[in-house]
Structure 1
Amino acid sequence: MDSLSELIRLLAPSGTVDLRCRVAGVWSDFNAQAAPGHVPYHVILEGQIEITVGDARLRATAGDVLLFPHGAAHTLMGLQAGSRTVAPSRHFNGVVTEVTVPGAAAPLDILCGTFVLGSSADVLLRTLPEVLCIGTDDANRHGDASWLRGLIGMMHAEADRPRPGGAAIVADLSTALFTVLLRALIQRGGVSRGLIALMADARMTRVVEAVVRAPEQPWTVDSLAALCNVSRATLARRFAQLGGMTPLELVTTLRMERAARLLRQDGLSAAAVGEQCGYASQAAFGRVFAQHFGIAPGAYRRQHRVRRVAEA
């Protein structure tokens, strides 16, 4: 399995499409700060839109996908002039909630949703900017435009004409969209820092791929540097510049996320989980796990079991 596929399996993303906004009049919509691990996104199907995030302001147009990696509060605004005279109408069509603002201006059509990531989201998100804009034209130079346009088109069709199974199809398509967007960012080098930046680097991606595939191995800085034929110092410097982390921090993070997943499955003892994650003793595993999650492995398992029962 390639490193991106393994990373997606680790992140366990799920996607939702919450709103379909059709706007031809004066309109703006404020989106509050999202919960940790929740990444709001907006797909611009038709027209143009202005977005404010803090003091930053940008515009997006048809075919663009906007991502908010840290769930930052933001405001969407149509570009129509005038004062608002008609309140938006809302209607659930069986798949998404449709928000309509009538008017005479050029139409604006948007799908709004959220990618929900697993507990390991921080390894991917922590050094990303507040907002990313991925355009299908940009992706075209790297071969992913057809995938992006195809997925967006299918999501558009399912949201536009509700049919049996439409809600499930839209949810699965939005989850696939997350993977395609990450691949586009990696291929075009669209992120300057973080795990995506490391995966976009021809040499550093060898280290990421090896650690993602087998975090339990007894990795050292020397063995990781040998994978990409660089010195220890060069490896450390490139990881700091691109990833904002050390190579062994990546190893520990991925080990801990594997451990958390195994503990949630309830099939192995804490000692066995630690062994599968590369720790020779239960004490060493428990100490690192508690430092990472703020809770001991046994307590983490019990906490998850209680939550699972409560949600059943």
Structure 2
Amino acid sequence: MDTLSDFVRLLDPSGTVDLQCRVAGAWSAHNEQAAPGHVPYHVILDGKAELTVGKERMRLVAGDVLLFPHGAAHTMRAMHRGARRAPTLNFNGVVTEVRVEGAAEPLNILCGTFILSPSSTLLLRTLPEYLHVPTASAAEREHAGNGEAGWLRGLIGMMHAEADTPRPGSAAIVADLSTALFTVLMRTIMSRGGVAHSLFALMGDARLAPAIEAIVRAPELAWTLEDIAAACNMSRATLARHFSQVGGITPLELVTTLRMERAARLLREGNLSAAAVAEQCGYASQAAFGRLFAQHFGVAPGAFRRAERDRRAAAAGAV
């Protein structure tokens, strides 16, 4: 399995499409801070819009995809002027349709959420508040290659078609396509190299790729700086300097982060004792493992497991 596939497996994403907004008049919608592990996204299908995140503003056009790795609060706004009209809402069996009538060129947006493992914040922590992935402009197609942009446009087009005209199975198809969209977006972000100081930048760096692949695949091994440098045919000093410049973290910080993510997943999904989880994550001392885990998650391993069980039980009861 390749490194990106291993990385996506760690994040364990599932996707939803929640809204389809068709707006031909004045309109704006504010999105509050999302829960940990929830990554909102928007796909501009047609028209133009404006995004506000904190003090930043960005103009958006058809084909743009936006992701919010930390669930940042943000506002989407149509570029139409005039008096506001109350939107009408209708659930069509797949998504909730939000319509605002008007005479302007329609703005059409798909809005959804990628739901990741609760410990995903460790792996995404160095990403910016939002990621902007254009898929339609000629400049982006030339830079990223027609294949990558084509994949994204194809996936988005299928999601649009299934959400727009629901048929038997459309809800399941849209859910699966939105999950696939997450992986294709991650691959596009990595291939474009536009996100510095992140795990994506590390995976996309040709010199560091052999070490990143080995660490992601087996973080529980007793990694040393010498081992990691040898995997890249670098000296320790060169590795440490280049790793920090590209990824914004040290090699051993990455090892610890991946170990903690694995520990969280084992505690969440299985019945292993804390001692067994510590061993599977590369720690001979349960006490040392417990201290590190508490530093990363704010609670001890046992409390984390109980909280996850309560969360799943509450989610199941709400269905």
Normalising by the smaller structure, the TM-score range is over 0.9
TM-score, length-scaled by structure 1: 0.94
CA shift, 1:285, in A, is 2.4
Q: Among 208, 211, 214, which residue is 1:207 paired with?
A: 211
Match of 1:156 in 2: 160
Does the C-alpha gap of structure 1 residues 139 and 208 become closer, same or farther in structure 2, counting only changes over 3 Å?
Answer: farther
Q: Take 2:242 and 2:141, find their aligned partners in 1: how far apart are those partners?
A: 26
Match of 1:172 in 2: 176
Q: Take 2:304 and 2:86, find their aligned partners in 1: how far apart are those partners?
A: 47
- Structure 1, unpaired ranges of 5+: none
TM-score, length-scaled by structure 2: 0.92
Contact 2:36 2:118 (8 Å CA) reproduced: no
- Counting only pairs closer than 5 Å after superposition, residues 23-102 of structure 1 correspond to structure 2 as 23-84=23-84, 86-102=85-101
What is the total number of aligned residue pairs between the two structures?
311
Match of 1:5 in 2: 5
Match of 2:253 in 1: 249
Q: Take 2:160 and 2:96, find their aligned partners in 1: how far apart are those partners?
A: 13
> Secondary structure of the residue that 1:218 maps to in structure 2?
coil
Q: Take 2:101 and 2:307, find their aligned partners in 1: how far apart are those partners?
A: 49
CA shift, 1:37, in A, is 1.9
Q: Among 277, 290, 297, which residue is 1:293 paired with?
A: 297
The answer to which of 94-103 and 141-150 deviates more is 141-150
Amino acid at match of 2:109: I
Q: What per-residue deviation string (whole Å, max 9, x for no partner) do you get for residues 101-155 of structure 1? A: 1111111111011111112322332222222111114256333112101110110
CA shift, 1:209, in A, is 1.2
Q: Take 1:78 and 1:304, find their aligned partners in 2: how far apart are those partners?
A: 39
Does the C-alpha gap of structure 1 residues 77 and 291 become closer, same or farther in structure 2, counting only changes over 3 Å?
Answer: closer
Amino acid at match of 1:277: C
Match of 1:216 in 2: 220
CA shift, 1:229, in A, is 1.5
Contact 2:123 2:257 (8 Å CA) reproduced: no
CA shift, 1:205, in A, is 2.3
CA shift, 1:96, in A, is 0.5
Contact 1:215 1:254 (8 Å CA) reproduced: yes
Q: Take 2:33 and 2:299, find their aligned partners in 1: how far apart are those partners?
A: 26
